[in-house]
């Protein structure tokens, strides 16, 4: 019997060198570790556990990537103090890759900088580390105790996950559409069908799907409770990595006779525009079913939909139009690289002229640190989650949707199907 991508990955990384199958427990050698703001907490936990000096070394200074993304610049004194501790720890450990002065979403930086490459195992201390699956790599989140061990020894225990194949059929769209694919999956199969599974996205649509849309599906795989969200290392990914990869890599390729617990087929041509209604990503409806719901805020950004391609569709759809004065439309690029390209290409001017507010790159629009909602307010957003209190008051209401739906809704001040608006710039 052949192997899935997950089985291939863990067979390569198995400390004993033995071939593995789904369900096996192994000690796996990691290729890198992504660190975010909670990093100082690892040091604190080790001190409390009685380990003298706390975190005093890492197994490889060149393979630890500390990106201070969630609260940068610091919004208050408490966070400023935590940032200081993290900065001092990074300097003490001599980490080669430490990003503080230019806040960006860590996962975007990991991909942009070529820190994670095909065939590698790179866990991180954030649940959305699954985004590295778009790089044909094993990315997944872990807690402080596991992180401390991995940082010290360069290895970590895993259970090799079973896999689900998701075949995307039909024709790729000329605008960002991955969010609607994700919402379709969450609505039809539930937000836990991927529980500790590896999702493998494949099919004819994938070869035409831009890396940006792959990132959206991989990063939101965790919203389906998945452990990994893999894409193949095809020509599109190789083109993306060509100027970024600083070391050789060996892609993961599933065997033709690999065994999956299930196969899900998605005909992209038959998909609608969707929203996840409050207060769960699994509470999915078509946009038409909730059309007319009044909003006060629309948000475009996050690790799910803050890339250049997402902002480009907003700038195109908004050019020459005006957002109503009573609607807040917040746009947050995923990184400074994304932000810079948007500036150079004139997208930011078009957005500002339309009435959008531009936030600094980072996680602020998703936590939130900007754009809090008060009781009774309704927001439609491309961010990752919509549980109670995610964007402020637990008495507010958050709808998740794709970039085009966000823009159409901001223009009208109510949840709106973007089909007509898209037809002006993206004819079939």
Q: What is the pLDDT of residue 38?
A: 65
* Sole residue written with tokens 């629309």: 298
Note whether 188 and 285 are within 8 A (CB).
no
Mean pLDDT for the stretch of residues 174-181: 97
Mean pLDDT for the stretch of residues 280-286: 98
User: Which residue from 253, 217, 215 is spatially nearest to 234, judged by alpha carbons?
Assistant: 253
Cα angle value 217/38/140 (rounded, 5°)? 30
Q: What is the pLDDT of residue 370?
A: 82
Is residue 287 very low, low, confident or very high in pLDDT (cuts 50, 70, 90)?
very high
Note whether 86 and 40 are within 8 A (CB).
yes
Calculate helix-pair angle for 308-318, 336-344, nearest 10 degrees.
Answer: 30
Residue 43 has pLDDT above 90, yes or no: no
Higher-confidence position of 99 and 115: 115
What is the percent of the chain where pLDDT is above 90?
81
Mean pLDDT for the stretch of residues 144-164: 93
Residue 200 has pLDDT above 70, yes or no: yes
Omega before residue 425 within 30° of 0, cis = no
CATH architecture of 5-267: 2-Layer Sandwich (3.30)
CA dist list (Å): 16 to 162, 188, 387: 20, 40, 42
What is the C-alpha to C-alpha distance for residues 109 and 315, in angstroms, rounded to an integer? 23
Burial of 102 (0-12, 13-18, 19+ CB in 10 A): middle
Note whether 329 and 298 are within 8 A (CB).
yes
- In CATH terms, are 5-267 and 273-423 the same topology? yes
Note whether 40 and 50 are within 8 A (CB).
no
CA dist list (Å): 83 to 48, 148, 302, 345, 349: 20, 18, 21, 33, 32
CATH pick for 273-423 out of 3.20.20.60, 3.30.499.10, 3.10.20.30, 3.30.70.3270:
3.30.499.10
Q: What is the mean pLDDT of the chain?
A: 94
Q: Report residue 92 as tokens.
A: 């003490």
| DSSP per residue, 230-245 | E----HHHHHHHTTT-
Mean pLDDT for the stretch of residues 104-112: 95
Q: What is the pLDDT of residue 336?
A: 94
Domain map (residue ranges) of the chain: 5-267, 273-423
Lowest mean pLDDT among 72-76, 88-92, 125-129: 72-76
């Amino acid at each position: 019997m052949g192997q899935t991508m997950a089985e291939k990955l863990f067979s390569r990384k198995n400390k004993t060198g033995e071939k593995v199958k789904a369900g096996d427990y192994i000690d796996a050698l990691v290729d890198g570790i992504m660190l975010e703001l909670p990093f100082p907490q690892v040091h604190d936990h080790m001190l409390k556990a009685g380990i003298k000096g706390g975190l005093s070394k890492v197994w490889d200074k060149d393979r630890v990537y500390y990106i201070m993304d969630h609260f940068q610049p610091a919004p208050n004194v408490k966070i400023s103090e935590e940032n200081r501790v993290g900065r001092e720890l990074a300097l003490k450990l001599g980490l080669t890759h430490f990003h503080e002065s230019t806040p960006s979403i860590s996962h975007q930086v990991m991909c942009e900088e070529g820190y994670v490459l095909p065939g590698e195992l790179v866990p991180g201390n954030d649940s959305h580390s699954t985004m590295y699956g778009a790089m044909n790599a094993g990315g997944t989140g872990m807690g402080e105790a596991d992180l401390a061990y991995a940082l010290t020894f360069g290895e970590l225990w895993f259970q090799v996950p079973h896999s689900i194949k998701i075949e995307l059929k039909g024709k790729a769209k000329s605008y960002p559409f991955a969010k609607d694919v994700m919402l379709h999956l969450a609505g039809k199969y539930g937000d836990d069908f991927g529980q500790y599974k590896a999702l493998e996205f494949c099919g004819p649509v994938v070869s035409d799907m831009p890396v940006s849309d792959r990132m959206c599906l991989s990063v939101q795989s965790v919203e389906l409770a998945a452990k990994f969200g893999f894409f193949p290392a095809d020509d599109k990914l190789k083109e993306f990595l060509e100027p970024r990869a600083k070391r050789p890599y060996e892609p993961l390729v599933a065997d033709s006779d690999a065994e999956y617990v299930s196969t899900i087929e998605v005909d992209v041509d038959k998909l609608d525009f969707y929203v996840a209604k409050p207060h769960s990503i699994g509470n999915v409806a078509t946009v038409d079913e909730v059309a007319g719901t009044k909003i006060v805020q629309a948000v475009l950004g996050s690790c799910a939909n803050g890339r250049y391609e997402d902002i480009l569709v907003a700038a195109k759809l908004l050019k020459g139009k005006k957002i109503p004065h009573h609607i807040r439309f917040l746009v947050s690029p995923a990184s400074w690289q994304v932000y810079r390209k948007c500036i150079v290409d004139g997208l930011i001017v078009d957005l500002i002229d339309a009435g959008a507010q531009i936030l600094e790159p980072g996680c602020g629009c998703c936590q939130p640190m900007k754009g809090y909602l008060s009781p009774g307010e309704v927001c439609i957003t491309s961010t990752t989650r919509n549980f109670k209190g995610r964007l402020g008051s637990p008495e507010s209401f958050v709808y998740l949707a794709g970039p085009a739906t966000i823009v159409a809704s901001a223009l009208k001040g109510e949840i709106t199907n973007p089909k007509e608006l898209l037809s002006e710039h993206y004819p079939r």
